[in-house]
């Protein structure tokens, strides 16, 4: 099979980590008989330098015509880069928001995986970690408080601010379907997180999610209040498979989950819509302080590419191979500087990519 991938190296360490992800994808293509065709696209600060805007219409169209999009990182040093001395809608990160909107992406998927080899970096006690954990947070990306009407004005002499939390049943149903579909590729368990004891929006969320669940009799659905979920993630993270939740709750819970995995340099993510076209990127930033120094950890980007294989291309076996290759390299004791520990072998960005591709 041939797959067309729009590649956005972006800023900072982006080009370096994208290069290593492509190495691994090419190894997968060679092993399984696939062809990956890459089209590089400018976005972020490099696009501002070249075109004056963080994402051109032409770049967006290229992404829209592709089978999937693989992104490195965007942005720079706020204090040093001239990219932030301009209007907010022209700054590097605005390109990412425009891309998500242009691709109609409404579901953010962020895995939280603790590799056995990185247990010592996890802040949780060993008895809590147990055999480790592997769950994903699926966050609705385009609704809720972040996108509702808002205003600040003076009422009766007092400055008063209002943010509106709005969801309709269609928005809830489509993100719920994403969660159930992803659960079918995993351990077939969905925990829907809300605040139904207080919020009308959460009560609708719970009702619609249960209606969608009827189409997935093979997947177990449970409900949990968000405050309890926040506690359970640090009390017993191994109980979760797929956590489904709305925009603000997902923003908070996914960040909490990232802190118990040992290093943000290991965290992949995906943003999906109603088609197979998705945006795949590491959860970390552009790290301009180490750009070009062969220090960046490419594993999060490699694992994002594995998510692309799984969710956009339905190549589960190939995705499993990439994830297995990462685990084998870590088990052999190879580490980039951010995850380095005693007794391990320090490697650079390019060597880590070579090692993972070699295991494929």
Q: Label the pairing between strands 158-163 and 150-155.
A: antiparallel
Residue 195 a catalytic site member: yes
Q: Are 6 and 39 in contact (CB under 8 A)?
A: yes
Dist CA 249 CA 193 (whole Å): 8
Residue 178 has φ and ψ, to the nearest 5°, of -60, -45
Indicate which residue of 77, 146, 188, 223 is catalytic: 146
Dist CA 311 CA 306 (whole Å): 9
Dist CA 42 CA 134 (whole Å): 33
Indicate which residue of 195, 295, 327, 328 is catalytic: 195
HEC string of 191-223?
EEEECCCCCHHHHHHHHHHHHHHCCCCCCEEEE
Token code pair at residue 209? 């999610």
Residue 79 has φ and ψ, to the nearest 5°, of -75, -20
Indicate which residue of 251, 280, 311, 338 is catalytic: 251
Indicate which residue of 255, 314, 316, 320 is catalytic: 255
CA distances to 185, 223, 281 from 210, rounded to whole Å, are 20, 9, 31
Residue 227 a catalytic site member: yes
Dist CA 148 CA 131 (whole Å): 41
Indicate which residue of 49, 116, 200, 227 is catalytic: 227
Residue 49 a catalytic site member: no
- Residue with the two structure tokens 């959860």: 283
Active site residues: 146, 195, 227, 251, 255
């Amino acid at each position: 099979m041939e797959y067309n991938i729009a590649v956005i190296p972006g800023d900072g360490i982006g080009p370096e980590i994208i290069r290593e992800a492509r190495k691994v994808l090419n190894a997968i293509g060679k092993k399984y008989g696939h062809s990956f065709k890459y089209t590089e696209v400018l976005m972020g600060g490099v696009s501002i330098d070249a075109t004056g805007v963080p994402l051109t219409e032409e770049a967006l169209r290229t992404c829209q015509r592709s089978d999937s999009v693989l992104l490195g990182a965007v942005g720079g040093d706020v204090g040093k880069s001239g990219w932030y001395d301009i209007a907010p809608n022209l700054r590097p990160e605005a390109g990412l928001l425009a891309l998500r909107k242009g691709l109609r992406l409404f579901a953010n998927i962020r895995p939280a995986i603790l590799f056995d080899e990185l247990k010592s970096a996890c802040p949780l006690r060993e008895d809590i970690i147990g055999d480790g954990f592997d769950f994903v947070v699926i966050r609705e990306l385009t609704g809720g408080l972040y996108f509702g009407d808002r205003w600040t004005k003076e009422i009766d002499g007092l400055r008063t601010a209002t943010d509106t939390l709005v969801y309709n049943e269609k928005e809830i149903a489509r993100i719920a379907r994403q969660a159930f579909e992803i659960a079918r590729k995993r351990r077939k368990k969905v925990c829907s997180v809300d605040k139904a004891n207080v919020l009308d929006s959460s009560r609708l969320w719970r009702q619609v999610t249960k209606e969608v669940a009827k189409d997935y009799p093979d997947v177990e659905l449970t409900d949990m209040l968000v405050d309890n979920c926040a506690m359970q993630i640090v009390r017993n993270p191994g109980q979760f498979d797929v956590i489904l939740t709305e925009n603000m709750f997902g923003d908070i819970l996914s960040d909490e989950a990232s802190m118990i995995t040992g290093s943000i340099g290991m965290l992949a993510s995906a943003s999906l819509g109603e088609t197979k076209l998705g945006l795949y990127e590491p959860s970390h930033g552009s790290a301009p302080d180490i750009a070009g120094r062969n220090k960046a950890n490419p594993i999060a980007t490699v694992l994002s590419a594995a998510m692309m294989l799984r969710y956009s291309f339905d190549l589960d076996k190939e995705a499993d191979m990439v994830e297995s290759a990462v685990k084998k390299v870590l088990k052999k004791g190879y580490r980039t500087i951010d995850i380095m520990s005693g007794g391990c072998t320090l490697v650079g960005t390019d060597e880590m990519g070579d090692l993972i591709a070699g295991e494929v």
